[in-house]
C-alpha cells in the first residue's frame, strides 16, 4: 500500500522510505522482535496474537517483526506459548498473522530461532557450559546443556531452512534469523561458550560456520530475492572471552556475501544479564548498541538496523541523521505506545506514551505469562481493552493526581464521562520525587504525558484540599479515590532528631551530610541510595531483608554493578533501634546491637496507604460508587497502579 501524508519536519530521515533488498519500506522504523507468548500452548497463532500485531502495524511502523518462532520440536522452544514454525500445519495461522500486518500498512517479518542454552530442560547447545542464571531454579544442574552432535547441528541447519520456507509461503515479506542474545547461534559464535573441537569450534570461521550454513540452507529454499535479515549482538558484553565487535564485523561481511539483505544489530545476551552488562533497562545508557551498528555499517553495503534503548523519535532521527544506521529498531517503546510512529509523523510527540525502561514487559510479562507493559495496560489485550464511548456518561470525581489518578481521569474522560480531577498540589504525585535521579528521567516524560492527556481529554482540574463534603456537594455518580501513600516512620527513640531526613525530602532537594545512613532496602530506598552515592556521599544501607533492591526485578544486576562502584556499605538482616546524635543503633536477628556513625539518617523503609478519605466517602449513603485505586490501597509499582486505574475507569458504565 502506498500513501502520501504530511510529515513533521522534525523527522525527515525517520519517515523517508527505504529498501531492504528489493523490499520497499515506507519509513525507517522497524518493530524489533520480542517474544510475546501470545500463541497457544501448541505454538499456533491465536486471535489475541493477531490483534496485537495488527495494532502495531496500524501504529505506522514500517516493518513489524514477529518475535521468536521456534524451528524444531526437539529443543528450540525457549518458553511455553511461543510461536511455532517447525511444521507445515502452522502456515494457515501464519498466513492470518502476516495478512493482518500487511493489510494494516506495514511490512511483515517473522523471526525464527533456536534457544540453545537459554531454554527449558533438556537443553542442547554448542558446548556443555551453562550460563549464569538470573532467575531462581530448583536444580541449576538441569541447565547444563548437552553438546549437540555434528548430525544434530546439520538437522538444525535444515530446520532453519524449512522454517524460513514456511514463513515465505505464509506471506511474510521477510524472515529474520535470530543470531543474538545468547541463543543457540550466539552459543556457537561465542569463544567462551563454544569449546567444540570439530569444524564448528575454535577459529572464528569455524564458530560462524553454523550460522553461514543456516543462511545457505535458507537461500537454497527461499531463492535469491526473498529478503533475509540476521540479528546479531555487536558484542555480548561478556567479561571473559567476549564476542568482539571486530569478530562481528567479519561475520557481517560473510553474511553479506551469502546474500543476507540486512543486519539487525543488538547487543548483550541472557548470559551477561547477571553480570550487569547484558540488559536493557534504565541503568544502561540510551542507544547503547548504536556504536556497534555504526561500526558494522562501515564494512557492509547492505542496510543496518540499530536497536535497543532507542526510546524517542528524536533519538531515532538523530541516529539516522548522523548516518550510524539505515533503520532503527524499536521494541519496548512500541509496547508503551504502538502509535508512536503515527504520532511523531503527525507532529504529536507529546501524545506518545513513554517507555520507562523498567523491563516489566519481560519480568512480569513474558517472564511470567504473556506480554505486558507497565504504562500500557492494553498491550497484549488489544481486542479486550479498546476505549469506546459509554452509552450513559456519568459525572465522575477522581481524587488525587498521581499516576493512578491521572490514568483513571484520562480513561474515564475518553470513555465519555464528565470527569473532575481534584489535586491538592502538583500533578504527578509520587512520580515527582521518583523522577529526580538521573537514571529515572523517563518518569518525567511519563508525568508530562499523563498531565497533557488529562488536559486534552477535557478533564476539569480542581486544585486544593478536598473533603467528603466537597464530594457530596458535587453530586457525583462515581468517585475514584487515588490519595496515595505517605512515607512510614519507625517509632524508635531519636526519630525526631534533626539528622533524620525523609526520603521524599532528599529527592526534593534537602541536603544531607557527607556520610549518610539509609534505612530500608526496597524500591524507594534503592533509588535514594544510588542517587546519594553518585553525588559522592559515603552511604551505609541497613535493611531487615537479606538483600537490597529485590523489587527492581531484572534491573537489580545493572543497579548493583553501578552501585558497587561507589562508596557504599550494605548491612542486611538488621533493624533500626535508635537514632543517636552521631548516627544510629541497629540490632541483628540475634538481638546483638551495634552503632553506625553518620551525619544524616534517611528513612526509606516503605509507605503507609492514605485511605482516610476513602473510608469517609464509603460511609456516605448518597454515593453508590466509590473506588480506591493506587497506593492508597497498597503501595505498589507503576505497573500495578496504572493497570488498576485503567481497569476501574474502563469499567465505569
Alpha helices per DSSP H over 280-312: 290-297
- Residue 322 banded pLDDT, cuts 50, 70, 90: very high
- For the domain bounded by 18-368, which CATH number is listed? 3.20.20.70
**Rounded Cα gap, residues 252 and 30, in angstroms:** 19
Over 70: is that where the pLDDT of 137 sits? no
Give the per-residue pLDDT at 2. Answer: 53
**Rounded Cα gap, residues 343 and 330, in angstroms:** 15
First to last CA, the chain: 39
Give the per-residue pLDDT at 132. Answer: 73
Could you tell me which residue, 383 or 81, shows the higher pLDDT? 81
Per-residue pLDDT, averaged over 173-183, amounts to 97
Give the per-residue pLDDT at 363. Answer: 82
Query: What are the contacts of 386-390 at 24+ separation with CB within 8 A?
Result: 387/411, 387/414, 387/415, 387/650, 388/415, 389/415, 389/416, 390/415, 390/416, 390/417, 390/652, 390/653
Which pTM was predicted? 0.95
**Rounded Cα gap, residues 443 and 462, in angstroms:** 23
Give the per-residue pLDDT at 135. Answer: 61
Query: Each residue of 403-413: pLDDT tens digit?
Result: 999 999 999 99
Give the per-residue pLDDT at 383. Answer: 84
Q: Where exactly does CATH 3.40.50.720 map onto the chain? A: 395-487+609-650
Give the per-residue pLDDT at 51. Answer: 97
Contacts of 411 (CB under 8 A, 6+ apart): 387, 645, 646, 649, 650
* Cβ–Cβ < 8 Å for 418, 394: yes
Give, as one character, the DSSP assignment of residue 438. Answer: G
Q: Where exactly does CATH 3.50.50.60 map onto the chain? A: 500-605
How many of the other CB atoms lie within 10 Å of CB of 618?
15
Query: Each residue of 501-524: pLDDT tens digit?
Result: 999 999 999 999 999 999 999 999
440: its cell numbers: 529515572
- Residue 143 banded pLDDT, cuts 50, 70, 90: confident
Q: Provide the percentage of residues in the chain whose pLDDT is more than 90.
A: 90
Give, as one character, the DSSP assignment of residue 181. Answer: B
CATH 3.40.50.300 given to domain 500-605: no
Query: Each residue of 574-596: pLDDT tens digit?
Result: 999 999 999 999 999 999 999 99
* Residue at grid coordinates 554448542: 126
Helix (H, G, I), strand (E, B) or coil at 636: coil
* Residue at grid coordinates 493489510: 103
615: its cell numbers: 473510608
DSSP codes joined into one string, 390-426: -SS--EEEEE--SHHHHHHHHHHHHTT-EEEEEESS-
* Residue at grid coordinates 524449512: 162
Angle at 11 between CA 10 and CA 17, to 5 degrees: 155
436: its cell numbers: 529526580
- Residue 133 banded pLDDT, cuts 50, 70, 90: low
203: its cell numbers: 577459529
Spelled out in words, what is the top-level CATH class assigned to the domain 395-487+609-650? alpha beta
- List residues with catalytic annotation: 183
Q: Where exactly does CATH 3.20.20.70 map onto the chain? A: 18-368
1: its cell numbers: 500500500
Query: Each residue of 546-574: pLDDT tens digit?
Result: 999 999 988 999 999 999 999 999 999 99
**Rounded Cα gap, residues 351 and 338, in angstroms:** 12
Contacts of 49 (CB under 8 A, 6+ apart): 36, 38, 39, 83, 97
* Cβ–Cβ < 8 Å for 59, 340: yes
Spacing of C-alpha 118 from chain mean position: 19
Nearest to 551 by CA among 359, 280, 407, 268: 359
Give the per-residue pLDDT at 138. Answer: 62
- φ, ψ of residue 394 in degrees (nearest 5): -115, 160
Over 90: is that where the pLDDT of 7 sits? no
Over 90: is that where the pLDDT of 221 sits? yes
As a whole number, the mean pLDDT across the chain is 95
DSSP codes joined into one string, 182-204: TSHHHHHH-TTT----STTSSSH
Amino acid at each position: 500500500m502506498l500513501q502520501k501524508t504530511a510529515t513533521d519536519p522534525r523527522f525527515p530521515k525517520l519517515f523517508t522510505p527505504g529498501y531492504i533488498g528489493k523490499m520497499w519500506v515506507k519509513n525507517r522504523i522497524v518493530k524489533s522482535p520480542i517474544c510475546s507468548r501470545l500463541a497457544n500452548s501448541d505454538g499456533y497463532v491465536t486471535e489475541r496474537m493477531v490483534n496485537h500485531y495488527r495494532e502495531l502495524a496500524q501504529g505506522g511502523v514500517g516493518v513489524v517483526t514477529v518475535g521468536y518462532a521456534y524451528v524444531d520440536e526437539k529443543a528450540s522452544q525457549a518458553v511455553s506459548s511461543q510461536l511455532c514454525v517447525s511444521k507445515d500445519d502452522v502456515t494457515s495461522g501464519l498466513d492470518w498473522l502476516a495478512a493482518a500486518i500487511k493489510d494494516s500498512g506495514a511490512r511483515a517479518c517473522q523471526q525464527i530461532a533456536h534457544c540453545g542454552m537459554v531454554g527449558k530442560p533438556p537443553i542442547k547447545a554448542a558446548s556443555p557450559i551453562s550460563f549464569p542464571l538470573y532467575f531462581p531454579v530448583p536444580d541449576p544442574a538441569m541447565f547444563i546443556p548437552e553438546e549437540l552432535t555434528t548430525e544434530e547441528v546439520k538437522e538444525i541447519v535444515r530446520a532453519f531452512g524449512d522454517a524460513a520456507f514456511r514463513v515465505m509461503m505464509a506471506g511474510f515479506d521477510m524472515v529474520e534469523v535470530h543470531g543474538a542474545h545468547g541463543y543457540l547461534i550466539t552459543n556457537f559464535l561465542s569463544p567462551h561458550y563454544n569449546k567444540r573441537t570439530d569444524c564448528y569450534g575454535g577459529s572464528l570461521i569455524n564458530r560462524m560456520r553454523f550460522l553461514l550454513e543456516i543462511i545457505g540452507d535458507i537461500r537454497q529454499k527461499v531463492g535469491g530475492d526473498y529478503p533475509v535479515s540476521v540479528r546479531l549482538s555487536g558484542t555480548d558484553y561478556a567479561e571473559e572471552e567476549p564476542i568482539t565487535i571486530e569478530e562481528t564485523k567479519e561475520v557481517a561481511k560473510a553474511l553479506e556475501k551469502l546474500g543476507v539483505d540486512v543486519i539487525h544489530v543488538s547487543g548483550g545476551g541472557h548470559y551477561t544479564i547477571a553480570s550487569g552488562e547484558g540488559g536493557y533497562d534504565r541503568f544502561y545508557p540510551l542507544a547503547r548498541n548504536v556504536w556497534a551498528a555504526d561500526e558494522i555499517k562501515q564494512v557492509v553495503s547492505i542496510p543496518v538496523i540499530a536497536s535497543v534503548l532507542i526510546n524517542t523519535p528524536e533519538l531515532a532521527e538523530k541516529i539516522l541523521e548522523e548516518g550510524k544506521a539505515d533503520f532503527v529498531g524499536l521494541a519496548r517503546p512500541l509496547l508503551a505506545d504502538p502509535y508512536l510512529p503515527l504520532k511523531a509523523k503527525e507532529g504529536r510527540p507529546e501524545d506518545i506514551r513513554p517507555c520507562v525502561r523498567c523491563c516489566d514487559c519481560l519480568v512480569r510479562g513474558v517472564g511470567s505469562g504473556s506480554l505486558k507493559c507497565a504504562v500500557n495496560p492494553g498491550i497484549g489485550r488489544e481486542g479486550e481493552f479498546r476505549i469506546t464511548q459509554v452509552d450513559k456518561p456519568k459525572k465522575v470525581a477522581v481524587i488525587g493526581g498521581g499516576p493512578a489518578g491521572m490514568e483513571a481521569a484520562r480513561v474515564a474522560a475518553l470513555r465519555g464521562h464528565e470527569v473532575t480531577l481534584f489535586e491538592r498540589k502538583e500533578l504527578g504525585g509520587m512520580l515527582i520525587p521518583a523522577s529526580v535521579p538521573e537514571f529515572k528521567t523517563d518518569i518525567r516524560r511519563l508525568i508530562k504525558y499523563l498531565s497533557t492527556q488529562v488536559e486534552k481529554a477535557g478533564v476539569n482540574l480542581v486544585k486544593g484540599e478536598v473533603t467528603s463534603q466537597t464530594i457530596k456537594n458535587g453530586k457525583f455518580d462515581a468517585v475514584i479515590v487515588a490519595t496515595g501513600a505517605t512515607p512510614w516512620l519507625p517509632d524508635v527513640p531519636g526519630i525526631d532528631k534533626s539528622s533524620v531526613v525523609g526520603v521524599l525530602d532528599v529527592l526534593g532537594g534537602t541536603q544531607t551530610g557527607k556520610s549518610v545512613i539509609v534505612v530500608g532496602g526496597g524500591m524507594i530506598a534503592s533509588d535514594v541510595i544510588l542517587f546519594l552515592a553518585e553525588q559522592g556521599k559515603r552511604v551505609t544501607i541497613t535493611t531487615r531483608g537479606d538483600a537490597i533492591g529485590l523489587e527492581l526485578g531484572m534491573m537489580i544486576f545493572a543497579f548493583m554493578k553501578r552501585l558497587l562502584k561507589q562508596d557504599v556499605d550494605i548491612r542486611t538482616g538488621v533493624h533500626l533501634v535508635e537514632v543517636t546524635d552521631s548516627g544510629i543503633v541497629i540490632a541483628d536477628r540475634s538481638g546483638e546491637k551495634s552503632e553506625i556513625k553518620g551525619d544524616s539518617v534517611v528513612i526509606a523503609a516503605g509507605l503507609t496507604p492514605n485511605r482516610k478519605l476513602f473510608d469517609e466517602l464509603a460511609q456516605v449513603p448518597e454515593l453508590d460508587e466509590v473506588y480506591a485505586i493506587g497506593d492508597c490501597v497498597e503501595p505498589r509499582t507503576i505497573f500495578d497502579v496504572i493497570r488498576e486505574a485503567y481497569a476501574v475507569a474502563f469499567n465505569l458504565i
